[in-house]
Amino acid sequence: MTRTHSGNRSDEARPRLEGVLAPVPTPFLSDGTFDRTAFRENLSRWIEAGLHGFVVLGSAGEAPMLSEEEAVDVLHSAREAIPEDRWMIAGVGRHATRLTIDAARAARDAGADAALVLPPYYYRRVTSNSALVEHFRSLADAVDLPLLIYNMPSYTGVDLPTPTIVAMAEIPGIIGIKDSSGDLTKLAAVRHQTPNAFAVLAGSAGFFVPALASGASGGVLALANIAPTMCLRLWNAAQSGHWDEARDLQARLIEANAAITRRWGPAGLKTALDLLGYRGGAPRPPLSALPEEAQKELASVLMEAGLQMDAKEAQ
């Protein structure tokens, strides 16, 4: 397989996986196809803001909405825009191990630095935790790319238990977890039972402060798409032990974060981007653009959080 991109850092070159990463949305043109220009425009602004890295083809990126061909196209566009000193992590969850291997190889070929692996969940009621560990082992054996576990119970119905995560963390090549469960008891247990090199990342800004207080090294935050500067300030505050400031920032952003995740999902995120001067657009059906009433409500939520268009992000 040819490598047409930079990326895929060797172990020596790779910086610690920490800080604030954004799970980036995938914009579409009015005919519904991938809007490469808008995608790269957004990325260049987030890079300039100083975000530590990006998850491409995550839940916020409408990954399940794309064909395999489109997914590869998005990954290539991302790598062209993302410099080597920032993480590019590719979402690669599929239901079969063999399809996941194919997706991870495509991600590596597109220059991703790591893959974020959603565990298979359709047959969750008849899939044992040890089968899930084997899934990750097969994947790590087959593909030469660092892997992150993606625990996302609200979408998948699978909430990986601590011993399963710990067993996965022992597999060479598995370098961390993005945990969107919000279960801080589990996050602390995972942090305690895995080596320091295993990165524990909060999956939402809603619990970023307590996650950092519990030993997380960063977060993959949808909020970072619309408030990169404030998310970085929050992270820096926590890093330097200014918990009160971190807490205040998080509290101030909590409604905006809920609006673009739990409440309105990708449609909310894209509308917020449009309101703030980024390139959002419509999600793919059956997801649909926010109705006008909801748009107004979202605008006022953003305003209250100190986020507004044409102004620099609030300091």
| Gap between the Cα atoms of 155 and 68, Å rounded | 20
Minimal distance in Å, beta carbon 243 to a copy of itself?
A: 6
Residue 207 binds a copy of itself (CB under 8 A): yes
Which of 50, 95, 172, 314 is the binder for a copy of itself (CB under 8 A)?
A: 95
Taking CB under 8 A as the rule, does residue 235 contact a copy of itself? no
Q: Residue from 161, 173, 210, 306 that binds a copy of itself (CB under 8 A)?
A: 210
The residues that are catalytic are 178
Angle between helices 36-49 and 228-239 (to 10 degrees): 30
Is residue 134 within the footprint of a copy of itself (CB under 8 A)? yes
- Work out which of 5, 86, 135, 270 binds a copy of itself, going by CB under 8 A: 135
Take residue 56 and report the two structure tokens written for it: 């491409």
Q: How many CB atoms lie within 10 A of CB 290?
A: 20
Each residue 45-84 as x (binds a copy of itself by CB under 8 A) or -, in order, gives: --------------x--x-xxxxx----------------
Interface region with a copy of itself, contact rule CB under 8 A, candidates 82-90, 163-171, 205-213, 305-313: 205-213
Q: Among 4, 37, 44, 185, indicate the residue that binds a copy of itself (CB under 8 A).
A: 185
| Rounded Cα–Cα distance for residues 58 and 42 (Å) | 16
Task: Return the residue of 49, 166, 254, 299 that touches a copy of itself, per CB under 8 A.
Answer: 254
Separation CA 212–CA 199 (nearest Å): 12
Which listed range, 9-17, 73-81, 169-177, 200-208, lies at the site for a copy of itself (CB under 8 A)?
A: 200-208
Among 116, 209, 231, 302, binds a copy of itself (CB under 8 A): 209
In angstroms, rounded to a whole number, what is the distance separating the alpha carbons of residues 179 and 153? 9
Q: Which long-range contacts (CB under 8 A, 24 or more apart) does 304-310 make?
A: 304/255, 304/256, 305/227, 305/252, 305/253, 305/255, 305/256, 306/230, 306/252, 307/226, 307/227, 307/230, 307/256, 307/272, 307/276, 308/276, 309/275, 309/276, 309/277, 310/277
Quickly count: other Cβ atoms within 10 Å of residue 100's Cβ. Answer: 25
- What's the CA angle centered on 149, arms 37 and 112, to 5 degrees? 35
Query: Is residue 138 at the binding interface for a copy of itself, with CB under 8 A as the rule?
Result: yes
Among 83, 157, 163, 172, binds a copy of itself (CB under 8 A): 157
Burial class (CB in 10 A: 0-12, 13-18, 19+), 69: exposed
Query: How many residues bind a copy of itself, per CB under 8 A?
Result: 64
Residues that bind a copy of itself (CB under 8 A): 32, 59, 62, 64-68, 95-99, 102, 120, 122-123, 125-127, 131-132, 134-135, 138, 154-155, 157, 182-185, 188-189, 191-192, 204, 206-207, 209-215, 241, 243, 247, 250-251, 254, 262-268, 284-288
